[in-house]
Amino acid sequence: MHDDFWTFCILTFGCKVNQYESQSLREAWKRMGGAETDDPAGANLILLNTCAVTANAVSDARQAVRRLQRDAPGVPIIVTGCAAEVAREELRALPGVAAVFGQDAKSRLLAAPPLALCASELPPETPFPATPEEARARALTRDRSYPPFRIAAFRRARPVLKVQDGCSHGCAYCIVPLTRGPARSRAPQDCLLEARRLLEAGYREIMISGINLRQYAMREEGCADFWDLLAYLDRELAPEWGAGARPDPARFRISSVEPAQLSERGVAVLAASRMVCPHLHLSLQSGSAAVLRAMRRGHYTPEALLEAVGRTAKLWPRFGLGADILMGFPGESEEHVRETLDVVRALPLTYAHVFPYSSRPGTVAAGLPGQIAKAERDAELKKQEVEIAKQKLDAEIRAQADAERYRQQQEAEAALFKRQKDAEAARYEQEQKAEAEMKIAEAQKYAKEQEAEGIAAVGKAEAEAIRAKALAEAEGIDKKAEAMKKYGEAAVIEM
């Protein structure tokens, strides 16, 4: 497969980290001689990089396999990603599927041509945990090394820089720690090299992403947490690429932050940055303190969140704010929904992603009492969507008003600037005119002085000439008189 021409098609579902890993596989396969096509029927191989955050996401993966089998019959399909962890055997049994690589095995696809890997014997895989107890036991055996994905380009204008993988927090509803494993962080130097590589390739906005940026932790370069990493990247790159360093400055966008990350120190790092754009996306989930505790997200409260957003608003008077909100969590009451709506109203949201709760295997929430029927979840979801739509409309109205005020301010400043420049020009013209007149006067004075000195010089010369002539004549008379005395009149006549 290294020597023969072959083509592949990659289809990616889910998060930005999946998009990043698909790009890494794309570049690796091109180095192996492969060529990408967007037409599954024209490919020698199809890669399906899947998501499993909800039951619908896994259903989408199954439907995608069936659709590909219908549209591109005979083309082998490799399934990887989170759904490949959750529904491994079910996906492997579907017609057209040549191999299933779970999340831990995904990086194996970087090492050799994919069809060659399909033909080889894959190592045995641990069954997906069905209970929280099995999940905890499996977490102890998971690979804790950072996966070796790297990129040099991206198919979109805003590339993703993956700096972290996995999660060790264990929210009650979330399946991601079970599919991706424990938290692992990328070396700061690797993050810097890749960011520089993307900037030198011409990209001017980079999305810094991970599964849980709050759990970023390394010892190198003093990067004990995500804020240290962000400050390190800014410190190393801003002198060359930041605002004020070049006509086309680059910037970072943070994919998602936990509300607890917006501490005074976090906001201080944002304030000092020359590269972070004024946008935040919050993993909010709920505005009810009771629901947050039930979700195992008690590390922040709605009040602390609002206070943190207030600190951020002082830093960025105008900024984009998004949020993820989960509705219909087991045991959520009408009062809890009202509390969440109150927080939504208090936040200056630009947009929000509102999701219905989806029971996931192996999670704590799947076994909780008070599971809410789909119809009730849908009704709550609709309430939230309506409220978010109002918030978005209000935000747009505020943005338009801000834009109009900004336009008027800019026009006023431009007019003031023009007046100041005109006054400076007038003063300069007057100063130049006065200076010219002074120089003319000095020149005229000098000319007069020179003229007077010339006349005086001429007069003195004439006087000297008359005096010399007089002296000469006097000397001649003296000589004649002396000759007369000595020789007589005849001698004088001869003279």
Query: How many helices (H) does the chain have, and how many strands (E)?
Result: 15, 13
Instruction: For residue range 412-445, list pLDDT tens digits in order.
Output: 777 777 788 788 888 888 888 888 888 888 888 8
Residue 160 pairs in a beta bridge with 207
Q: Where are the beta strands (DSSP E) in 200-314?
A: 205-209, 251-254, 279-285
d(CA 377, CA 334): 11
Residue 324 pairs in a beta bridge with 353
Which of 111, 183, 120, 177 lies closest to 150 in space, CA to CA? Answer: 111
DSSP string covering 479-491, please?
Answer: HHHHHHHHH-HHH
Confidence of residue 477 (pLDDT cuts 50, 70, 90): low
Alpha-carbon distances of 374 from 162, 356, 358, 473, rounded to whole Å: 35, 9, 9, 142
Residue 174 pairs in a beta bridge with none
d(CA 233, CA 90): 43
d(CA 383, CA 338): 10
Whether the Cβ atoms of residue 110 and residue 92 lie closer than 8 Å to each other: no
- 3-state SS, 366-392, equals HHCCCCCCHHHHHHHHHHHHHHHHHHH
pLDDT of residue 130: 80
Amino acid at 51: C
Instruction: For residue range 388-397, list pLDDT tens digits in order.
Output: 666 666 666 6
Instruction: For residue range 448-466, list pLDDT tens digits in order.
Output: 888 787 766 666 666 677 6
pLDDT of residue 1: 45
Q: How does the average pLDDT of the chain come out, rounded?
A: 87
Q: Helix (H, G, I), strand (E, B), or coil: what is residue 412?
A: helix
pLDDT of residue 495: 42
- More confident call, 120 vs 157: 157
The DSSP symbol for 395 reads H
Position 3 pLDDT exceeds 70: no
pTM: 0.78
pLDDT of residue 250: 97
Alpha-carbon distances of 328 from 344, 371, 374, rounded to whole Å: 16, 8, 8
Compute CA 325 distance to the chain's CA centroid, rounded to the nearest angstrom. Answer: 24
Whether the Cβ atoms of residue 169 and residue 363 lie closer than 8 Å to each other: no
- Cβ-based neighbours of 32, under 8 Å, separated by 6 or more: 1, 2, 112, 113
Residue 77: in which H helix or E strand, if any? strand 77-81
